[in-house]
Structure 1
Amino acid sequence: MNAVEVLASVDIVALRMAPEAQHLQVLLHRREREPHAGQWALPGVIVNGRTPDTSLEAAAERALREKTQVVPCYMEQVGTEGNAFRDPRGWSLSTYYLALLDPRQVVEGEQLAFFDLNSVLARKVLLPFDHNLLVERARERLAAKTVYSSLPLYLLAEKFTVLDALGAVQACLGQAVNNTSLRKRLERLRELGWVSDTGEKNQPRLGRPQQLYRYTPQGERAFMFDRSLLPEGA
């Protein structure tokens, strides 16, 4: 790379709720080219004058389409990281996005796999470049917005119970929350048309039948509450 060039990329931190569990997983792609060929990394694409992208959002969509073949339920830009050391090819920067996936999302082939998010955050799974940091920053954004918004509901299946919603919220925050507070939020969303009652119930193996709901967002962004989900000082 020429000394005056800056290598620009768009990378995706795509998360889903683990099947049959209440923790988050991050989607990784095995790199096919140097540097770091063969290592697991965030799916991403180079952005320059030779690529067809007309915006960063278009580049993010291309990264998902070309590297993962998944369609997110929600996606937003988190930030940009750049310096002369993150990439062995020279000065580089990455604009990275948070994408939330359906819990039933599957991937095909040996080049894609879901990894436990906490293992990546704890650096038990080491990623190339500064991708561990990008995952950490995306998780911080998710946790911060969970306190005030309906964002975790994008991680749920089409039909969900209160306990499903509670599990998603706690996975996003990394801590327990009050069940009653969450129920009040869901009721508020139902009153405003952001959550609908399906009229159906599921039958768990243990316990009573649970009401099934559907998330029906009334806009492209999450609903913002005027109060924190967590008690003061939490």
Structure 2
Amino acid sequence: MSTAEVLASVDIVALRLSPGSQHLQVLLHKREREPHVGQWALPGVIVNGRTADASLDDAAARALAEKAQVQPQHLEQVGTEGNAVRDPRGWSLSTYYLALLDPAVQVQGPQLAFHDLGNLLTGKQALPFDHRLLVERAVERLAAKSLYTSLPLYLVAERFTVLDALAAMQVCLGQAVNGTSVRKRLERMKGEGWVEDTGEKHQPRLGRPQQLYRHTPREVRGFVFDRSLLAGG
């Protein structure tokens, strides 16, 4: 690559709740060519390379279709990182996106797998390039927006309970959340048409039946509350 060129890519930090909703998992793609061939990395594509891209969003859609092979419930651009050392091929930059997936989503083939977020953030599992930094920044964005938006609901199943919503919010924030605050948020969203009561109930093995809700978002950015979740909002 010429010293006058900059290698531009789009990378996807795709997250789902693990079975049991105890922690987050990141979708990784096993690299098929150098550099770092055979290593697990974020699914991504070179922008406007062999395939023309009209925009960064188009490149992100291509990365989701070709590399990640998933359809997210929510997708947003987080930021761009670039320097002369992140890629051994030379000066490069990555515009990275946060994608939130249905917890039941499955991947096919040996090139795709979900990996524990904690192992990636602690370095127990290494990532090539600066992909650990991209994951960190995306998770920070998710935690920050979970305080005052409905973003965690994009991680729950189509039909969910208050406890499902509570678990998603706690995982996104990394700390305990007041259950009453979650119920208040769901009721407010229901009043605004963002959540609907299915009229059905989930019967756990122990305890009382739980009301089932459905998330019905009306805008891409998610529902915005006027108070932080940790402030009892």
TM range (shorter): over 0.9
Task: Identify which range, 220-229 or 6-15, moves more after superposition.
Answer: 220-229
Q: Where does structure 1 differ by over 4 angstroms across 4 or more consecutive aligned residues?
A: none
How far off its partner does 1:192 sit? 0.6
Query: Where does residue 207 of structure 1 map in the other structure?
Result: 207
| Gap runs ≥5 in structure 2 | none
Query: Where does residue 116 of structure 1 map in the other structure?
Result: 116
Count of paired positions: 232
Query: Where does residue 37 of structure 1 map in the other structure?
Result: 37
| Gap runs ≥5 in structure 1 | none
Output the amino acid matched with 1:51: T
Q: Distance in 2 between matches of 1:159 and 1:12?
A: 26
TM-superposition CA deviations, 1:175-211 (whole Å, max 9, x none): 1111111111111001111000000001111111100
Q: CA RMSD in A?
A: 1.1
Q: Distance in 2 between matches of 1:107 and 1:51?
A: 24
Output the amino acid matched with 1:62: R
Query: Where does residue 3 of structure 1 map in the other structure?
Result: 3
Q: Distance in 2 between matches of 1:221 and 1:136?
A: 21
1:149 aligns with 2:140: no
Q: Distance in 1 between matches of 2:188 and 2:87?
A: 46
Taking structure 1 as the reference length, the TM-score comes to 0.97
Query: Where does residue 180 of structure 1 map in the other structure?
Result: 180
Counting aligned pairs with the same residue, the percent is 74
Q: Distance in 1 between matches of 2:10 and 2:72?
A: 16
Q: Distance in 1 between matches of 2:92 and 2:45?
A: 13
The equivalences for 1:5-154 within 5 A come to 5-48=5-48, 50-154=50-154
User: Per the alignment, in what secondary structure is the counterpart of residue 5 of structure 1?
Assistant: coil
Output the amino acid matched with 2:48: N
